[in-house]
Amino acid sequence: MRPARILTVAGSDSGGGAGIEADIKTIERLGGYAMAALTAVTAQNTLGVQGIWGLPPDAVQAQIRSCACDIGIDAAKCGMLGDAATVEAVAQALGSIEGLVLVVDPVMRAKGGDRLLAPDAEIALRERLMPLAALVTPNLPEAEALVGHAVATPGERERAAREIVALGAGAALIKGGHLPGDELEDLLFDGRTFHRFRQTRVPPPHTHGTGCTLSAAIATGLGQGLPLRDAVERGVRFVQAAIRTAPGLGGGHGPLDHHAGQAPWPQGT
């Protein structure tokens, strides 16, 4: 049986905890076939980002088209895109692929606070890429930036999810990792119904790459034919397992365990 063909469009994390590296580990762990279109190279570790070098937009677009015209793409996720020209190039390339399921992770800042998306690119993301998305997966600061208002209360988060869908996305997952307290909630709005995924916070600091990992996991599930809610639920469980068994590397925000304790994660479970 052919595995689901999953493309990640993102930057490289030299430390291996986030970006392309985390996505490939996740996709393969969950049974997909991983492909990559690299948008940028970063010098990065658990302590922060020391340098970012973006690739030319036509090089990013060529990578996407190369995968699409030969191997084929069932689902894709977008992470770090950098600037407006790259967002436009990615939107053009992905928008031309018939039947593609797209998950957009609006990566705006690294875990340590370094800015990863230029201000003009935020506009391009809203106007050009989000309308192509089956799902958009912002954390709380990203959701606030996308909709322009606070998302501190449950009502504000519901409003933000509705507004993201109104921008053209098929669904929105407002991630709750920035919420205070020990109990977290990820809020999914599928365009009609709200679904809540509650979990107990796993103590930091080894949470580097959680957003990348979650969006890659969801894209893999969607590419495998899982319904949206099931793909999100499996992705949340996988990330929680990967945090709990993190290897404890580095002196800052350490990476996850993308083996997830060797738990069984086949399609449909």
Query: Which residues, in sequence order, are bridge partners of residue 147?
Result: none
Kindly list the distances between the CA atom of residue 72 and the CA atoms of 8, 98, 101, 139, 206, in Å, as whole numbers in the listed order.
13, 10, 12, 30, 35
Per-residue b/e over 70-98, b at no fewer than 16 CB within 10 Å? eeebbbbbbbbbbbbbbbbbbbebbeebe
- Unique residue bearing structure tokens 């469980």: 237
Q: Which of 212, 223, 235, 245 is catalytic?
A: 212
Q: Which of 11, 17, 209, 221 is catalytic?
A: 209
Q: Which of 8, 25, 175, 220 is catalytic?
A: 175
207 is catalytic: yes
209 is catalytic: yes
Give, for 186, the enclosing helix (H) or strand (E): strand 183-189
Q: Which of 39, 210, 213, 245 is catalytic?
A: 210
86 is catalytic: no
42 is catalytic: no
67 is catalytic: no
Amino acid identity of residue 111, one-letter, is K
210 is catalytic: yes
Q: Which of 15, 211, 221, 223 is catalytic?
A: 211
Active-site residue set: 175, 207, 209-212
